[in-house]
Structure 1
């Protein structure tokens, strides 16, 4: 019963935890500087998974007695190198990009909800309406398009006189083949 409530271990363990925390703080700052701003920007699925794994490894290296600090440092360095390499491969090889990255998806077209895309991405009509309101649009017809981006955000493109084929910024967005303007 006494082991169940462990408020404090001892001074040497507390010093070890503090030293490990400083070590991992410095490591993560250096890693972010080397790997780049992408590590902390608005994350796509791939970047989010890497950040969660790095956080878990850092916590393990700081707190867990059975995980050597150097082991956790090596694991974090390998993940950072893998992320760096993968982002370079994604930029150079579209086939790899297709496997690693999600693609933006069209959810509304000129006020019409695209129900198949909404079901596939698990985005509700209420979530789309919230994005419209956040952009000062009071009805779905007030937007040409709503797009689910690769980082999970909803982008609202206000109503304007442009057709789908003329919207260059939307060329990489997954849309139904039968979109008619």
Structure 2
């Protein structure tokens, strides 16, 4: 119990110096490797961000780990993420393994029951997202998508005649919309990626 309330100036000074050094190095890493280093675009980015926070804290507080060891572990984690994103960009096969795909949960007022079940999303969560968008009726919603970062996007139904191009690359699209998107893609020569 004495350890909980103990105050050792040397320990506190060591933590303060470690925090400053690791913080400066972390900022430099992020500037060198890009904004993606701290993004939440998808699950593997989120894992890196959370892990980096854990390594940062451990490097500062744990006396058994030197600042250099902590900084190297953070650098290795960020480099792995950097390499993974480069490979994902070049390899469709690897992209399918690593990246999640957005899922359509509601389309033109109709829930996509199979996708709700597969993603373990409740209708109440969809209604909450619609309310947060400021819409009072499900009839005012064109689509609801569970994004790769686990956020729910609500697309308002502004124009019934316009094709929902933002739904490109979303799982579970109705066949008619898939056909319209493919037709438009071939007309405009849009590249997938």
| TM-score clears 0.5 | yes
Hey, what's the Cα distance between the residues in 1 that align with 2:68 and 2:5? Answer: 26
> How far is the alpha carbon of 1:153 from its aligned partner?
1.6
| Partner residue, 1:103 | 101
Q: Deviations over 1:59-109 (max 9, x none)?
A: 111111111221111111101111111111111111111111110000001
- Measured on the aligned residues, the alpha-carbon RMSD in Å equals 2.0
3-state SS of paired residue (1:76):
helix
Matched, 1:136 2:170: no
16-25 or 132-141, which deviates more? 132-141
Are 1:112 and 1:141, in contact at CA under 8 Å, matched by a contact in 2?
no
In 2, Cα distance between the equivalents of 1:69 and 1:90? 32
Across the two proteins, how many residue pairs are aligned to each other? 177
Instruction: Name the counterpart of 2:25.
Output: 27
Q: Which runs of 5+ in 2 are unaligned?
A: 181-193
For 1:12 and 1:85, the matched residues in 2 are separated by 39
Runs of 4+ in 1 over 4 A off after TM superposition: 176-181
Within the candidate set 166, 170, 176, 1:169 is matched to 166
Cα offset for 1:123? 1.5
For structure 1, list consecutive stretches of 5 or more residues without a partner in the other structure.
none
One of 147, 154, 161 as aligned partner of 1:156:
154
SS in 2 for 1:2: coil
* TM-score (norm: length of structure 1): 0.88
